[in-house]
Structure formats: structure tokens, C-alpha cells
A and B are shown apart, each in its own frame.
Chain A
Amino acid sequence: MKKEDLPQDKGALENFTREVCYVKGKDGKYIAGLSTGWETKTVALDKQWEEINRRVEKAKKNCLAGKTSSIRYYFELQLMDMSVLAGYTGFFQWQIKRHMSPSVFKKLSKKKLQKYADAFNISVNELINFNPS
């Protein structure tokens, strides 16, 4: 890629930083060029976020319908996977899966709820009284 071909499109890095890309300068030697973004990959990132939002919406619906516990919603909202939530709470992954069922969630002790609240950086109250914005 030549320096003049380096895309300077808008992207999520705007106002944060430009990124280094290796490009050929005028004399045919490699230099580090700075790019604001490339539309091709910006769309890929946007699509990924559409997918995340879709998953969050689904979790919200299921939670409001009583099909899953609010743990599921915050889990999706904060882009977690099982190993992340297990790491922050100290629970095993199979325990977390159980706690995502509303009937089990209802019976969780204050102490366990606190662990989830800490992991999600919210209050226990927000966790129990599910009221998403």
C-alpha cells in the first residue's frame, strides 16, 4: 500500500487517536503512516455492535418475560463471556448458568447477589429490581 492510498475515513477512533499503518513512501521505502480509519473495517465493527445490541435486547425481553434472570441481561450488556463473569464473581461457570434461571435467582443469598452486583458494577437493588433503561 502506498502512502497516498492509506484511507482516512471516519471511524470509532475519531477524537481518540489515529492508528499506525505501514505504507510505502515516495522513495519506495516503508514508513509508518497515520490513518483515521477505513470504512471497510468500520462497518465490520458497526455490524458487531448491531449484533451485541440485538443480543442485549433479546436478554431484556426474556428477563422482563420472566424467562431468564437479570444476570443474563447484564452479562450481555457488558459483553461478557462465562470465563469473564466466573473470574469476577469466583463462581463456577455451571453455577452461573444455574443462577441465570429465574427460579434459582430468586433464592440467591444476599452475599451471592452482592458478588454479581460487584462484577457488573451496579447495586444489588438494580440487580433484583430489573428496570432497564
Chain B
Amino acid sequence: MSDFLHIQTAHCENGVTVGLLNKQGLQFMNEPLAFGLGSGLFYIHIPFLKINGGPAISFRSMPGSIFKRTCKTLNVNVQRKKFRSELAAEKFLDDRLDAGDIVGCQVGVYNLPYFPVAYRFHFNAHNVIVYGREGDNYLISDPVMETTTILTREELSKVRFAQGALAPKGHIYYPKTTPIVTDEMIRKGIIKGIKHSVRSMLYIPSRITGVRGIKHTAKKISKWRKQLGERKAGLFLGQIVRMQEEIGTGGGGFRFMYAAFLEQASERLANDSLMGISDQFTKIGDLWRDSALQMSGIYKGRITAQSDFNKSAEILFEIAELEKKAFKDLSQLNL
């Protein structure tokens, strides 16, 4: 507990991965690397499903997948557990902490007292590290926050047993063994991570995922004004911008984070072409930011003509083409 170091990251799951693995002695781990090894970059526009009444869009892979894949690739053995009973969950946590372990916990943010109220939605796939306890006060390292914080036993149980979609059910996880990770393993992991991302962005046979998913959203956007009216269409665009830019994404819908990963990959693999592709992703991230600006003009009510919606769609089409090229380039590298 005493040697735990709080590390702030953009995204909670990356942060928990970095924190837990650092504690296991894997000091090289950092957020972009965890994100790349875990193939976090993605795009999906889930049809029919609505989140807070808006479109369900995600710029990253399934919750839990980054930690899972990063650990798998480094041969880290992970123990995880879910619970029916709150008491059993509390006891298990206490036992682990008293044994000197630090653990990751999945929590809901609605009842998280240290979060600003404006951010407290019923979102259940948030992750924190519990790194110790003083009686009934639990020491919490929430990776998206600048500092550590404390939750009481009741507060922690409440968020660990939040209800709704992706209910955590007391989900607790931690690395069981301290592995020896060689540079060779990291290099192999990087290549594996890149290949996985190429596959999920280019080759999933579906209209709603990856590069084609971005085009799918673009097509929808040009129809929204007519289908939903200006107010609601604006809200929908606002939802896209929030999924893309809100705390946790590192800006530009995780694209800057991925560029940072490729920069590291280029160094570790001594491959200059990767640096070139990293630059492509930086440009793509910048373009996502431009797209957010354009969309904000609409939901601020400044520009609301059909041509403005079309402009938004065009930017997304352009992004889709650029991402397609970047991933094609990645797939053609001889790694």
C-alpha cells in the first residue's frame, strides 16, 4: 500500500491497467502502450440502441477488453470475481487489501461522490483501483482524477453494485502473478495489438463497425435534420461529440492516444514507417476535433441548415478514408 503510486491517465481502464501492472513491477507500462497492446482503438455505431436518448457510438473497444488483452499478451495471470452478495464482495475485497494486494474494481459513476454532478450518469463501466483501507475508509485511486480519494464502505459498495446496463456486480480483478516480461514479448505484443486493431477497423464484416461504421454515422447525420428536427438532431450530434471528446478519450476520440502508441511502437521496433503512420493518426485526431467544432456550430444553433449537416457528414467521410488508409498502411508493414 505504501509504495503505490497514483498515475493519472485519460481513460479509466488504461489507468487501472497501468497502475496494477506497475505495482507488479512492470514499470515500462504507460497509457498509450496499454491502449495499443490492448487494441483499444475502435469505432462502432450500435443500431436501435439509444443512450440517454441519443445514438450509441463508441470510439473504443468493449469495456474490459483493453485490460484483458494487455494482460494476456504479457502473460499476466488475472484473477477476477463477481458476486451476488454485497457482503461477500466486501469480505473478498477486505481480505485482498489486508493481504497487501491492490485491486481493480468496476463501478457505476452515478453515486460516485467525488465526481462532478454534471458527469454522474448511470454509466457502469468505470474502473478504479482500491489500494488500501483504513478501517471502513477505502483508499481509491481513480485514474481520471488528478489526486487519490477516499470512499466509505457504504459508498464503495453502492457503486460496486450499481444497477442497469453493464452492472458491475461487485466485479473485482487483479494480477495474480508477477511475470517476467522481456523486451521481445513487448515487441511481439505491439505487433499483435496492431494487427488486431487493423482487423477490427477494416475487416469485420459489418456496416456499423470500424471504418465503415464511421461512414454509416456520416450517412445518418445527413438524414437527422429531416428525421428528427433541428433540436433533437443537434442533441444527437452533441452526443457524438461527448463520446468523442469527453474526459477519458485523450482527445480526438482516442486517436491522439493511438498516435502516441505508434510513436512508442516505432521506437521499440526501430521502424520509421510506424512514425509516419503515427503522424497520420495525429492528423486524423485533428480532423475529429474539426468535426466536433463543426457539429458544435449546429447544436449551439449558429448554423442549422441542411448544408451544415452535410458538411459534418463530409468531414466524417473524409476521416473514414484517412483511417482506412492509415490502417491499410499498418497492415502492409512488414512487422
A contact residues vs B (CB 8 Å cutoff): 1, 6, 12-13, 16-24, 29-30, 32, 34-35, 38, 40-41, 43-45, 47-49, 51-52, 78-81, 83-84, 86-88
Q: In the complex, how many angstroms separate the beta carbon of A47 from the nearest chain B beta carbon?
A: 5
CB contacts (< 8 Å) of B256 on chain A: these are 1, 21-23, 30
Cβ contact within 8 Å between A22 and B163 = no
A43–B118 alpha-carbon span in the complex (Å): 12
Q: In the complex, how many angstroms separate the beta carbon of B162 from the nearest chain A beta carbon?
A: 8
CB contacts (< 8 Å) of A35 on chain B: these are 251
Q: In the complex, how many angstroms separate the beta carbon of A106 from the nearest chain B beta carbon?
A: 26
A-B contact count (CB 8 A): 126
CB contacts (< 8 Å) of A86 on chain B: these are 163
B300 within 8 A of A: yes
Cβ contact within 8 Å between B144 and A44 = no
Q: In the complex, how many angstroms separate the beta carbon of A121 from the nearest chain B beta carbon?
A: 9
CB contacts (< 8 Å) of A49 on chain B: these are 118
CB contacts (< 8 Å) of B52 on chain A: these are 48, 52, 79
Q: In the complex, how many angstroms separate the beta carbon of B309 from the nearest chain A beta carbon?
A: 16
Residue tally, chain B, CB below 8 Å to A: 53
SS class of chain A's interface: helix, strand, loop or mixed?
mixed
A131–B237 alpha-carbon span in the complex (Å): 35
Cβ contact within 8 Å between A17 and B293 = no
B contact residues vs A (CB 8 Å cutoff): 8-10, 31-32, 52-54, 110, 114-116, 118-122, 144-147, 163-165, 167, 234-235, 237-239, 241-242, 245-248, 250-252, 256-257, 259-260, 263, 282, 285-286, 289, 292-293, 296, 299-300
Cβ contact within 8 Å between B32 and A22 = yes
Cβ contact within 8 Å between A41 and B260 = no
* Minimal Cβ-Cβ distance residue in A for B147: A17
CB contacts (< 8 Å) of A48 on chain B: these are 52, 54, 235, 238-239, 242
Q: In the complex, how many angstroms separate the beta carbon of A11 from the nearest chain B beta carbon?
A: 9
CB contacts (< 8 Å) of B145 on chain A: these are 16-17
Cβ contact within 8 Å between A41 and B246 = yes
A22–B235 alpha-carbon span in the complex (Å): 27
CB contacts (< 8 Å) of A44 on chain B: these are 237-239, 241-242, 245, 296, 299
Q: In the complex, how many angstroms separate the beta carbon of B126 from the nearest chain A beta carbon?
A: 14
What would 25 A/B residue contacts be, using CB atoms closer than 8 Å?
A: A1-B251, A1-B252, A16-B115, A16-B116, A18-B146, A20-B9, A20-B144, A20-B250, A21-B10, A21-B256, A22-B256, A23-B251, A29-B263, A38-B245, A40-B245, A45-B119, A47-B235, A47-B238, A47-B299, A48-B54, A48-B235, A51-B53, A52-B52, A79-B110, A81-B165
